[in-house]
Structure 1
């Protein structure tokens, strides 16, 4: 029962995890404080784990959050390119990630696990890049706290689910642990650098 609840909590938030960020960028038409490098690094990690899990024949419910998140982060990548008038850059990177995902269909498992192992470092760098972008711009007004909160809940639930069910590679569990810590760090940065609203005196 607990395991089923954790699996649902791991997947459910992912269906809307990036939506607040998408809506915020679409509303402000501004990418200040949003790290494109972080978007690319997230794409790398999602493609890695999602493709590995698919081609290794894992139960779909054990990795459903990755294809769901992938669709949303692809949309963010395209939206970033549109707002920053650098669409071609976004297209080229998405082609690279498409090739990356397909490569998991033929590379040996030990090489695939090595690539998965890089997620620990890449995932950390992704969060560091986003925190750095917020600090550098001096504002988190264009970065959604809700998006990272959803990711925090999903990663925490998936990590707990994998530990209880004893399913999944150790390196994937470590990746989820890093994701939990990283999302908490970004949320803290968003809170610290939130825009100050000045109320007009009547």
Structure 2
């Protein structure tokens, strides 16, 4: 298989996966009418990370195909946040985060040093989002309404983006971020599966 074919497949498959990445989680919440087990802090941190990566890669004019999924992920996370706020009974609290995200999106590309610093911190933000979800799972000892399928697709998208980053820009910050995200996504997925099995045994 040629390198170009591998690259095209990785880009296309990542876009397809990210197009529906959060849908399983949305459907689970809507079906259960509950956001139990889904960490609000994790979603807020994850959305921040997505905004920074999109801003960084567009600022440096990276190939569009290497980050086209981020607008889709941002839109899906925004919808997911609305659902979590709604099922937590805090829908009226979502206006402030929306204003902060929009303002931050503009601020981060104001100067080159700001976007570089934001990208340096982005890996820590994204890692913190995964740990926030892990902490939520550990505290409740229950996978609740957390979708294993969504996290499984996140593992694939991280792996595919490692491939595309290696084959295109070779940017160390981007590569490091996706490698860490791959490991943490796998950890969250394993934790969900573990608590699902524990729950079934207790039943």
- RMSD, matched Cα: 1.6
Determine the structure 2 residue equivalent to 1:50.
54
**In 2, are the aligned partners of 1:124 and 1:179 still within 8 Å (CA)?**
yes
Q: Does 1:179 align with 2:164?
A: no
Q: How does 1:186-201 map to 2 (within 5 A)?
A: 186-194=188-196, 195-196=199-200
Q: Write the distance in 2 (CA, Å) between the matches of 1:15 and 1:162.
A: 19
Q: Write the distance in 1 (CA, Å) between the matches of 2:89 and 2:60.
A: 39
**Superposed displacement of residue 10, structure 1:** 2.2
**Superposed displacement of residue 137, structure 1:** 1.4
Q: Does 1:145 align with 2:148?
A: yes
Unaligned runs of 5+ in 2: none
Q: Write the distance in 2 (CA, Å) between the matches of 1:29 and 1:136.
A: 21
Determine the structure 1 residue equivalent to 2:96.
92
Determine the structure 2 residue equivalent to 1:60.
64
Q: Write the distance in 2 (CA, Å) between the matches of 1:8 and 1:21.
A: 22
Is the partner of 2:94 in helix, strand or coil? helix
Q: How does 1:1-202 map to 2 (within 5 A)?
A: 1-107=5-111, 109-165=112-168, 167=169, 169-194=171-196, 195-196=199-200
- Structure 1 runs, 4 residues or longer, greater than 4 Å off: none
Q: How many residues align?
A: 197
Is the partner of 2:200 in helix, strand or coil? coil
TM-score with structure 2 setting the length: 0.91
Greater helix proportion: 2
Is the partner of 1:57 in helix, strand or coil? coil
Unaligned runs of 5+ in 1: none
Deviations 1:113-138 (A, max 9, x none): 11011111111111111011112112
**Superposed displacement of residue 197, structure 1:** 7.1
Deviations 1:149-202 (A, max 9, x none): 11110111011111122x153111111111101110100110011132788xxx
Q: Write the distance in 2 (CA, Å) between the matches of 1:168 and 1:91.
A: 38
